[in-house]
Structure 1
Amino acid sequence: MFFSIIIPLFNRPQEIDELLQSLTMQRYRQFEVIIVEDGSTKPAKDIVEKYVDVLDVRYFEKPNEGQGFARNFGFARAKGDYFIVFDSDILVPHDYFDQVIKGLRRDGWDAFGGPDAAHASFTPIQKAISYSMTSPFTTGGIRGNKARVGAFHPRSFNMGLSRAVYDLTKGFKLPRRSEDIEFSIRMIDMGFRVGLIPEAFVYHKRRATFLQFFKQTNFFGKGRIDIYQMFPQELKPVHALPAVFVLGLACLLVLNVVGILFHTTSVVVLILMLFGNSLLSIYTFLLFLHACLTTKSVWIGVLSVLAAYTQLIAYGSGFLGSYIEKVWLKK
């Protein structure tokens, strides 16, 4: 079984260096690596050339069109039986392909995805963000495990597909923003077997600051409405939970401001304040406790609470703003 690894790249030379280094450690060696530089102003050609003696790697440059079309560029030049799509901000465990082959033989997937995890070398913020994106206390908890809502949709940080899937689908239709979800839905609609290989995980560094993380997850929230407009049946109640969280947080803030600044004696306002504050406090405490136990660090537990709030507020506000703009106002 021969694999073609497709990696779109945009101004991430340090990341691709770390990713390629992790690929040199693979036990299974029947793969090629195709790097597609998507209009970067910080090209990584010199870095990639360091690995030509230890990896079957090819490097291409093209004008910027977005990661979806960069992957299609790589697909068209790939030699493999299966195509593996990675984001540049991951590290690959040494037994990744062993797990993929085992999963393919066991389940017979035409296309698949795997989960992500935090590596020991990650910064505390990256570990907190990783926790948030995989936690049962956020919508991240439905990703990368079998207890999910609806069909599994592989994500582009860790996605695989057979050549037959590419030949029929012709790859990604969208250049960016939810392009992987659209592609996954289209594969399923065409009758391909698409599923999760839980053991085929990667270490996903994600963003390095909370501001970057906010921008990324806000983008995800907007992208969910893009998918809703193309596939209305794919919008599930769980996708709206961050938006409900944002609305509830806003209402609670108003109640607290009214109660404190105006010294209200309204029984209804006081009850709602008590109930809302108690509910939020319990949620935050359980989130913190679970994060501490999961990451085995109190400090990362504190950062994980900040990461979870960042994720929920960013995704929820992006979801709400895009829904109002595109669905209600029809812009």
Structure 2
Amino acid sequence: MYYSFIVPVYNRPDEIEKLLLSISQLNYEGAFEVVIIEDGSENTCKTVCSRFRESVNINYLFKSNSGPGDSRNYGMKKANGDYFIILDSDCILPESYLNHVDRFLKKKFVDCYGGPDAAAESFSDLQKAINYSMTSFFTTGGLRGGSEALGKFQPRSFNMGLSKKAFIVTNGFSKIHPGEDPDLTIRLWKNNFETALISKAYVYHERRISWFLFYKQVNKFGMVRVILNKWHPETKKLTYWFPTLFIMGLFFSIGLLFIGQYWLILFYAIYFLLIFIESSIRNGLIVGFKSIIACIVQFYGYGTGFLLSWYKINMKKVPERTAFPNLFFK
């Protein structure tokens, strides 16, 4: 099997340099290529790519800006592989990554896989805290962290594999962003393609992020989920309401304190204590404390985004592109 790494990038040559360095150090003995899709960047990574051409088979493509989903589609159309490995530009691969993928697919082939999201020791405390919040069983059910999540596994495009056959049948990613990856996964299922988690095929996801950017990211995740529920009503789950109800309950528990009622806040205190203990064991006390903040930001951002989107789309019946034009590329 010939693999093509598909990496869209927008104004981030420094991230591409780290990613290509990690790819050049893979211990996989087979041939593969790396397709870099420059999505209309002003600060391009062309020079960075040229420095790695002797150690990595790179196909550098420049195109006008159309978003990450369309850029991935463009790259897959130009790629030579029969299996595509889609990565975000801010990922770093461990040297055994491709070996784990190849062994898994040779043993149990699937047309789409996803791998976990991990934090390297070099990451900042904030990056580690956000990584914990995004991957912990206590916050997301281990959806991104390599746990066997409830129900079918939905790969995410920061670390995702897709066969050429599946790409041709589904036409790849849609114009929505974020949310293009779960939308693709659902369409894969509808076309009888299987997905799987390869727990050993993790990447170090070095998000360039702040508290505010994290909030904006998860807020969009919440908005998009309602749109996906509209497009694919058979995928609706009550659990998607959990962040909204969690935040409403937290505010209500704080209000109860003013009338001397402490029972509800105790449940939240126990929950936050469990997060603090688990994250501190993994990452230290400072990250443990910041993980509590990350959890609150994540649930507040996602929960309020979900509620707003649900109100506009389901109650006011506003078309999704009219309600949230910033979530769609033309």
- The two structures have a TM-score, normalised by structure 1, of 0.92
Match of 2:273 in 1: 285
- Written as runs of structure 1 = structure 2, the 5 A alignment for 1:197-276 is 197-256=198-257, 259=258, 269-270=259-260, 273-276=261-264
For the 8 Å contact 2:136–2:145, the answer to whether it is kept is: no
Partner residue, 1:2: 2
Deviation at 1:206, TM superposition (A): 2.2
Q: Equivalent residue for 1:148?
A: 149
Aligned-partner Cα distance in 1 for 2:178–2:213? 16
Partner of 1:262: none
The reply on whether 1:303 has 2:290 as its aligned counterpart is yes
Tell me what 2:59 maps to: 58
Structure 1 gap ranges (5+)? 260-268
> What amino acid maps onto 1:30 in structure 2?
A
Amino acid at match of 1:93: P
In structure 2, the partner of 1:185 is 186
Q: Which residue identity is paired with 1:283?
A: Y
Question: Which has the higher Rg, Structure 1 or Structure 2?
Answer: 1
- Which residue identity lines up with residue 188 of structure 1 in the other structure? W
Query: Pairwise mapping of residues 34-45 of structure 1 onto structure 2 (< 5 A)?
Result: 34-45=35-46
Q: In structure 2, how many angstroms separate the alpha carbons of the residues matched to 1:169 and 1:225?
A: 22
Q: Is the 8 A contact 2:256 2:262 kept in 1?
A: no
CA–CA distance in structure 2, aligned partners of residues 243 and 175 of structure 1: 22
Per-residue CA shift, 1:157-194, capped at 9, x if unaligned? 01001111112112112342200001011111101121
Say whether residues 1:313 and 2:300 are aligned partners.
Answer: yes
Residue 294 (structure 1) aligns with: 282
> 2:117·2:144 contact (CA, 8 Å) conserved in 1?
no
In 1, the alpha carbon distance for the partners of 2:210 and 2:144 equals 22
2 CA distance for matches of 1:237 and 1:145? 23
Q: Which amino acid is the alignment partner of residue 63 of structure 2?
A: K
User: How many residues in Structure 1 have an aligned counterpart in Structure 2?
Assistant: 317
Within 1, Cα distance between the matches of 2:79 and 2:207?
26
Instruction: State the 1:254 CA deviation.
Output: 3.4
Specify the alignment match of 1:266 in structure 2: none
Letter in 1 for 2:14: Q
Deviates more, 1:132-141 or 1:3-12: 132-141
Structure 2: how far apart are the matches of 1:283 and 1:185? 32
2:322 alignment partner in structure 1: none
What is the letter of the counterpart of residue 143 of structure 2? Answer: I
Q: CA deviation at 1:255?
A: 3.4
Counterpart residue identity of residue 96, structure 2 = D
Do the aligned residues in 1 keep the contact of 2:118 with 2:145 (CA within 8 Å)? no
Deviation at 1:141, TM superposition (A): 2.2
- Quickly say closer, same or farther: Cα 1:207–1:310, change in 2 above 3 A: farther
CA deviation map 1:233-284 (0-9, x unaligned): 212222221111111122233334xx2xxxxxxxxx53xx311221121111
Instruction: Supply the AA of the counterpart residue of 1:116.
Output: D
Q: 1:153 & 1:294 partners in 2: Cα distance?
A: 25
Deviation at 1:144, TM superposition (A): 4.5
1:322 aligns with 2:323: no
TM-score, normalised by the number of residues in structure 2: 0.92
Aligned to 2:114: 113
Q: 3-state SS of the aligned residue for 1:6?
A: strand
What fraction of aligned residue pairs are identical, expressed as a percent? 39
